[in-house]
């Protein structure tokens, strides 16, 4: 039975019964699940808080961004990239691919539908997904719920002493488009992941004066080795060699290409790059030319921040630098804990508790896609598993319904 407050809330909302799963998120992961469900003949609804598909790519990425991995490792199920696309498609080409993907599989998300909460109702054995849109509220009732909001739903803004008192421009990397408006300016880039390194590199190309904060150790690998993608070589080697040995080989190649990066302020972690990626989700930096700028001094590497003041920053080593702007390349996080009322499948950090490859399926019709820390190929793999799992139940129940109807007709005729 519903409690009185729940019953009143239930009646105050427009309720929609979904004859199939509800997918939360219309990024690449959500689109992949939708396409695979289409193949299984299962209807679905995709809810998206933004006004477009892949809003992270369309609205929160910089202009020069390209896929870090070759296109064959980034394609979604059942549709390869166009042959005329380069090996590393640009941001705009990837968006074009995703829009073609949605069009080809006739995927039409419900945009501007922000999920406020999703809760499993044990009384009726269904999921109740509450959304808000343009001052209206809708409750979707469904049997299956697919969480496809991904690893990068919300940007992380660190609490640094004095940052609010800094009188220059402060922005997160998700707002950065290009270095055009930073020409000749002293810019502090906080963070040394792929975003921080590429933003620093882009700033150099616009004659800005970037300094990059490297607080912790970081792995930098060449994007290609002997003309082959480093990632592709890693995948090939892991078919025959243990992970630790593949890491050793990659680090030897990196040393041959770069030398000792520690002398430029880039100390390597004790754990290997792939082991670190799969265990902690820390992606190695794939160099596209930034290391050359670091060697030449065009990109300065500085240690951690102690505090900001009006127009300067004080570092942990006691140095003080005058700066004009701050770009926070401090990453993203999952937002699942803020709306999914469930604690068995997802942990507090918004990732499934079960490690790869078992983090795609929970209890009571709950699924997750895009949380493998293995990029688009991991999301595609999970999407196919989810669609096959739901499709199997869907077909079995459809078969039972036909048998029930046939039996019922025979009974009537006999009667």
Least reliable range by pLDDT among 11-20, 132-141, 222-231, 370-379 = 11-20
**What is the model's pLDDT at position 134?**
78
Q: With a cut of 60, say whether residue 152 has pLDDT above it.
A: yes
Give whole-number Cα distances, 163 to 137, 168, 185, 317, in Å. 37, 10, 18, 18
**What is the model's pLDDT at position 12?**
52
**What is the model's pLDDT at position 108?**
97
**What is the model's pLDDT at position 345?**
94
Backbone angles phi and psi of 324, in degrees to 5: -105, -25
Sheet with 312-315, side-by-side order of all strands: 305-308, 312-315, 320-322
409 vs 71, more confident: 71
Q: What is the mean pLDDT of the chain?
A: 91
Q: With a cut of 60, say whether residue 334 has pLDDT above it.
A: yes
Q: What's the rounded Cα separation, in Å, for the pair 143 and 177?
A: 41
pLDDT mean over 220-236: 92
Q: With a cut of 70, say whether residue 178 has pLDDT above it.
A: yes
Q: With a cut of 80, say whether residue 408 has pLDDT above it.
A: no
pLDDT, one tens digit per residue, over 5-34 is 444 454 456 899 999 999 999 999 999 999
pLDDT mean over 98-107: 98
Q: With a cut of 90, say whether residue 157 has pLDDT above it.
A: yes
pLDDT, one tens digit per residue, over 38-73 is 999 999 999 999 999 999 999 999 999 999 999 999
pLDDT mean over 175-183: 96
Give the count of beta carbons closer than 10 Å to the beta carbon of residue 44. 22
Q: With a cut of 80, say whether residue 282 has pLDDT above it.
A: yes
Q: Which two tokens stand for residue 387?
A: 């669609």
**What is the model's pLDDT at position 167?**
93
**What is the model's pLDDT at position 118?**
97
- Give percent of the chain above pLDDT 90: 84
Angle formed by the axes of helices 273-280 and 243-258, to 10°? Answer: 120
Backbone angles phi and psi of 115, in degrees to 5: -75, 120
**What is the model's pLDDT at position 411?**
26
Q: Which two tokens stand for residue 270?
A: 């004790």
Q: Which residues pair with 132 in a beta bridge?
A: 114, 137
Q: With a cut of 60, say whether residue 104 has pLDDT above it.
A: yes
pLDDT mean over 387-408: 74
Give whole-number Cα distances, 90 to 55, 113, 206, 212, 263, in Å. 16, 29, 19, 24, 32
Q: With a cut of 70, say whether residue 356 has pLDDT above it.
A: yes
**What is the model's pLDDT at position 409?**
30
Q: How many residues does the chain have?
A: 415
Contact 109, 30 (CB under 8 A): yes
pLDDT, one tens digit per residue, over 185-207 is 999 999 999 999 999 999 999 99
Q: What's the rounded Cα separation, in Å, for the pair 406 and 327?
A: 66
Q: Which two tokens stand for residue 399?
A: 């078969």
């Amino acid at each position: 039975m519903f409690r009185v407050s729940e019953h009143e809330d239930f009646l105050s909302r427009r309720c929609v019964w979904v004859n199939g799963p509800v997918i939360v998120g219309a990024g690449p992961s959500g689109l992949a699940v939708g396409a695979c469900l289409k193949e299984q003949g299962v209807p679905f609804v995709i809810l998206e808080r933004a006004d477009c598909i892949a809003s992270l790519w369309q609205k929160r990425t910089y202009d020069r961004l390209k896929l870090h991995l070759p296109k064959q490792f980034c394609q979604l199920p059942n549709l390869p990239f166009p042959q005329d696309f380069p090996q590393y498609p640009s941001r705009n080409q990837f968006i074009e691919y995703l829009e073609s993907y949605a069009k080809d599989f006739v995927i039409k998300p419900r945009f501007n539908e922000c999920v406020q909460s999703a809760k499993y109702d044990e009384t009726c054995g269904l999921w109740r997904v509450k959304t808000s849109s343009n001052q209206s509220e809708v409750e979707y009732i469904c049997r299956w719920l697919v969480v496809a909001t991904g690893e990068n739903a919300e940007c992380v803004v660190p609490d640094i002493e004095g940052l609010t008192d800094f009188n220059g421009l402060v922005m997160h990397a998700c707002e950065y488009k290009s270095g055009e408006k930073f020409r000749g300016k002293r810019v502090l880039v906080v963070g040394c992941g792929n975003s921080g390194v590429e933003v620093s590199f882009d700033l150099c190309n616009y004659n800005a004066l970037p300094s990059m904060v490297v607080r912790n150790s970081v792995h930098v690998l060449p994007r290609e080795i002997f003309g082959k993608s480093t990632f592709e070589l890693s995948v090939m080697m892991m078919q025959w060699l243990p992970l630790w040995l593949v890491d050793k080989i990659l680090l030897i190649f990196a040393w041959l290409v770069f030398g000792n990066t520690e002398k430029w302020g880039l100390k390597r972690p004790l754990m290997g790059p792939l082991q670190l990626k799969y265990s902690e989700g820390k992606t190695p930096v794939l160099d596209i030319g930034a290391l050359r700028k670091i060697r030449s001094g065009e990109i300065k590497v500085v240690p951690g921040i102690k505090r900001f003041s009006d127009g300067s920053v004080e570092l942990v080593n006691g140095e003080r630098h005058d700066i004009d702007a701050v770009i926070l390349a401090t990453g993203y996080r999952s937002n699942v804990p803020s709306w999914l009322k469930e604690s068995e499948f997802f942990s507090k950090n918004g990732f499934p508790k079960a490690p790869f490859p078992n983090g795609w399926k929970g209890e009571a019709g709950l699924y997750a896609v895009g949380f493998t820390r293995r990029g688009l190929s991991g999301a595609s793999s999970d999407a196919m598993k989810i669609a096959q799992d739901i499709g199997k139940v869907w077909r079995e129940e459809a078969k039972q319904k036909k048998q029930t109807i046939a039996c019922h007709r025979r009974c009537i005729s006999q009667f």
